[in-house]
Chain A
Amino acid sequence: MPIILSLAGSDDSWIAAGPEGLFQYRDNQFIPILQPQEQLLCTLQLDNMMFVGGVPHGVALSPDAGETWHPALIKHDGASILDISADPEWASSGVLLAASAGQGIFRSEDRGWRWVSCNFGLHTYTILCLAWAHPMPKQAFPRWKIVFAGGDDGIYRSPNAGLGWKRCIGDPQHTQIIVADTAFHENGIVLAGTEADGLWRSEDGGYSFDKVPNTPSCINTLLQTPQGWLLSDEEHLYHSDKGIIWSPIPDSQPALVLRQHEDGILAGGTEGIRQINTLKQF
């Protein structure tokens, strides 16, 4: 079974990426998709468009679900892309962000064909993850587009879809996963998991983060479900209602990536992908 680091898509069609390549995941089967990168670290699917990033460098995109691939126009000097993420309203804005190892964040306004550096406000240029908050209501003013970036020295927040960044208060080191609550604009809650610095939580819209006590030190992935929050360290899955008090799930296996599925949860890891039925588990 391939190691899966990234899952993208929706219930109709999932794509899974890892060091062994890119796969279409359907009916528990992995169908390889040929793509140009040597080792994949991230992937993104938007309708028929696919994006991959990893080693050696840059972003490759396919406008036809993997039939043909093109290098995105991006000035990167060989930077590995660690995460690619799209504005929830990408269909109208065309905005995508890509996090790199050593060259900060790249931004596209044309659905991924051309990218420019958008590093204003960053103190570090190794960004490990990106996370968008849900869009604000259409009638809200000012209508910000909030996105978070996890760096090796802290978390950054942008109110303008990645044009400029401001460092959040709090010093989580090597933040590798960030998730904003589905009700972010009402409760201001954001959770961030780190490589060895535990779980951090914000209640003020992501301006500041505090460490959550009694959580695993290494957090590989996080997910918010209708039944609460899930996280995984190297050994188990954990569950929490509000993201404050966590309990290990007995007999659970760890995961490197979690995604909500119509029948439950998809968990990607070192043993491929498995399905977790949340209603029964918790």
Chain B
Amino acid sequence: MPVPGVVGTDETRQHIGAGIDAIANLLSATLGPKSGYVVHTRPNDELEILDDAAIIARRILSLQNPRDTVGAMMMRHLVWRVGSETGDGGAIAAVLMQAIYHHALRLMVAGFHPVLLEKGIKQATDRVIEALYDIAQPIKNENQLVKIAQSVIQDDELAMVVGEMRYLLGADGNVMIRDYTGRILRRRYIAGTHVAANALSRDFFAVAGKREVAMNRVALAITNARLWEAEDALNLMKVAVEKGAENLLIITPQISNDVLNILIANHRSEDVKLKIFAVQITEEGLHHGATLTDLCVLTRSTLLGKMQVHTAATATVDDVGFVPRISYEDEMLTVLTGKNASAELESEISSVRRQLDDLLGDDDEKREFLVKRLARLTGGVGELQLGAVSKQERNMLRHQAERALKVLAVAQRGGVVAGGGAAFIHARHVIASCDNPDMKAGFDVVFRSLEAPIHQLLCNGGHPAPGIVIDTLEKGESSMTYDVMLASFVDSYADGLIDPVDVLVAGLRKASSMAVRALMTDAIVFHRDPQQEGNEP
């Protein structure tokens, strides 16, 4: 516990800088070209081998010199935030923050006005971010996704499977990871919309004892009110026939015996060409309402019943959806909707995305619910079966897979740029000069700092002259990068050395902001611990 007191300005900057350096130097090993590892000894002497910058930073709670801890904690917070947002980029952010802090500090010590310096840094950062988006390209194929996955996952086979899954499921797709004991790597893709449901009568099943149903060309009537009167059933059957369906699926919370008898009689009749199946959704509360909404949007049907425009008795042909196929097995209803693009669907997808973006803090339950909804609406649900011999290896693979899936989703949404830190070099020309003399110092700080990631990467790879590489990249096309392993300049898109632009943007923006905050910190105050005895301020 530090001695309570106040650390003054000059000392503060020295200690904050030391804290920042400690974390940045530690994390720079994980930057590349081949991911480096950091070994962490847990309190119970168990060893952890880590390559994720965000987790490494989280393991650090304080430094040996408590005065340096403030800077270290700022860095820790930065790296964790970047990792949480994009799945990657923590090491890049750390290296950038270190560079911005030290370059700016030198200018401040030389007498530059800190407020103008701050403004210049912020403006320069915004311009570079804009330039990064200008040179970003969309993801073209699954090969690019696999290359990005390889930068997160050390196992090539797993990287290939993860890249393939993200390609087929899309950025909004949800991947459920199942753990297994033993070496297993399998994936499956779940076609259709799956909803937990109970059949409302076993008389709907064709074979006694076999609780399965499969129907093609199905009209879908969804209601949130119970079906109680005969006219409810008769009207639904009528509109289903008008719709041209061969089968009718009714989703309702409850059904009376009278209605059930009518439905079953028609279902079994040889004369009537309409087979019927009725189920109730078993999800409760928020999930129940959302499931009904999603099914309506996906099948282009209208919700009937309580507080709706129509009830089952007054439903029209337009209120009933039509799907190519449904099946029911093991208390799970599967609705295959085929091609189902519509304005309502896009609107609902946008709404769920907005809710996810607005979600604050650690509301994991709500987040999981919204992620599942989004995957259901966008038709992207898959299962990854992952196993390893030891629990540690299994946990590591799972963590890498989760991270990679997140990073790949970010890449699919925002696009990609030249990797290896080259994108910063290509983008920084927009701040090479500045007409406003007040902003120039800030622009210079950012300009020089942007070469820090590639400089570190080249040093990690043992390159003897990083400056020459940087100068060459500066003059090259925006797709050019330097392959440290091959020791040659390559086309990043052809060779797969690419980075998601949103990862770089998040890293730069947060690093710049945190560096400014660190620069503006003039004093550190250590509070007296009330439980300590004999402490002097």
Q: Which A residues have a C-beta under 8 Å from some C-beta of B? A: 75, 77, 102-104, 117-125, 141-144, 153, 159-160, 163-166, 205, 207
Nearest-neighbour CB distance to chain A for B332, whole angstroms, equals 14
Chain B nearest CB, measured from A148 CB (Å):
15
- From A77, A102, A122, A124, give the contact of B191 (CB < 8 A): A122
Q: Is the CB of A120 within 8 A of B189?
A: yes
> Pick the contact of B338 from A75, A122, A142 — CB < 8 Å?
A122
B160, B164, B188, B336: the one contacting A125 at CB < 8 Å is: B336
Q: 1/0 per residue B485-497: CB within 8 Å of A?
A: 0000000000000
**Which chain A residues lie closer than 8 Å to B167 at the CB level?**
159, 166
User: Residue of B at shortest CB range from A163?
Assistant: B189
Cβ contact within 8 Å between A142 and B191: no
Q: What interface size band does chain B fall in?
A: 20 to 34
Compute how far the CA of A160 lies from the CA of B157 in the bound complex, rounded to whole angstroms: 13
Give CA–CA (A160, B167) in the complex, Å.
11
Chain B residues whose CB sits within 8 angstroms of the CB of A102 once the complex forms: 216, 324-325
Does B190 make an interface contact (CB < 8 A)? yes
Chain A nearest Cβ from B338, distance in angstroms: 5
Q: Is A153 in contact with B339, judged by CB distance below 8 angstroms?
A: yes
Chain B residue with the shortest CB-CB distance to A77: B214
Contact A142 B143 (CB under 8 A): yes
Instruction: List the A side residues contacting B191 at CB < 8 Å.
Output: 104, 117-122
CB distance from A185 to the nearest CB of B (A): 12
Tell whether, in the assembled complex, residue B141 and residue A142 are in contact, meaning their CB atoms are under 8 Å apart. no
Known: A119-B192, A120-B189, A122-B191. 8 other contacts (CB 8 A): A77-B214, A77-B216, A121-B168, A144-B142, A144-B164, A159-B142, A159-B167, A166-B168
Chain B residue with Cβ nearest A116: B188
Q: A159-B142, A160-B164 are in contact. Are A123 and B187 (CB under 8 A)?
A: no
Q: Which residues of B contact A153 (CB under 8 A)?
A: 339
B216 touching A142, Cβ below 8 Å:
no
Closest A-chain residue to B165, C-beta based? Answer: A164
Write 11 A-B pairs (CB below 8 A) sorted by A numbering. Answer: A102-B216, A102-B325, A118-B189, A118-B191, A119-B336, A121-B379, A122-B338, A125-B338, A142-B164, A159-B168, A160-B168
What residue in chain A is nearest B325 (Cβ atoms)?
A125
| Chain B 185-212 interface 0/1 with A at a Cβ cutoff of 8 Å (1 = within) | 0011111100000000000000000000
> Do B189 and A164 have beta carbons less than 8 Å apart?
yes
Say what secondary structure dominates the interface of chain A: loop
A-B pairs with lowest CB-CB distance, top 4: A120-B189, A123-B339, A164-B189, A164-B168
- Interface status of B130 (Cβ within 8 A of chain A): no
Which chain B positions have C-beta within 8 A of A160? Answer: 164, 168
Cα of A87 to Cα of B160 in the assembled complex, Å: 19
Residues of chain A within 8 A (CB-CB) of B382 are: 120, 164
A125 and B189 within 8 A (CB) = no
Q: Which residue of A lies closest to B145 (CB)?
A: A142
Q: How far is the CB of B160 from chain A (nearest CB, A)?
A: 4
- Binary A-proximity of B156-167 (CB < 8 A = 1, otherwise 0): 100010011001
- How many angstroms from the CA of A207 to the CA of B142 in the assembled complex? 11
B146 within 8 A of A: yes
A114 to chain B, nearest CB (A): 15
> Taking CB as reference atom, which chain A residue is nearest B329?
A75
Residue contact B216 to A120, C-beta cutoff 8 Å = no
Q: Smallest CB–CB gap between B190 and chain A, Å?
A: 7
Q: Is the CB of B216 within 8 A of A141?
A: no
Q: Select B188's contact among A121, A141, A163, beta carbons within 8 Å.
A: A163
Complexed CA–CA distance, A205 and B168 (Å): 16
Would you give the 0/1 interface string for B168-190, flagging 1 where the beta carbon is closer than 8 Å to chain A? 10000000000000000001111
Identify the closest chain A residue to B187 (Cβ): A163
Known contacts A77-B214, A120-B168, A142-B160; A205 and B141 CB within 8 A of each other: yes
Q: Are B163 and A142 in contact (CB under 8 A)?
A: yes
Q: Does B214 contact A124, Cβ atoms closer than 8 Å?
A: no
Chain A neighbourhood of B339, CB < 8 A: 123-124, 153
Residues of B within 8 A of A165 (CB): 168
CB atoms of A124 and B163 under 8 A apart? no
Give A153 to B141 CA distance when docked, in angstroms: 22
How many angstroms between the C-alpha atoms of A120 and B336 in the bound complex? Answer: 10
From the candidates A104, A120, A123, A141, name the one contacting B190 in the complex (CB within 8 A): A120
The residue in B188, B189, B192, B336 that gathers the most chain A C-beta atoms within 10 A of its C-beta is B189
Checking A104, A124, A125, A142 against B146 with a beta-carbon cut-off of 8 angstroms, the contacting residue is A142
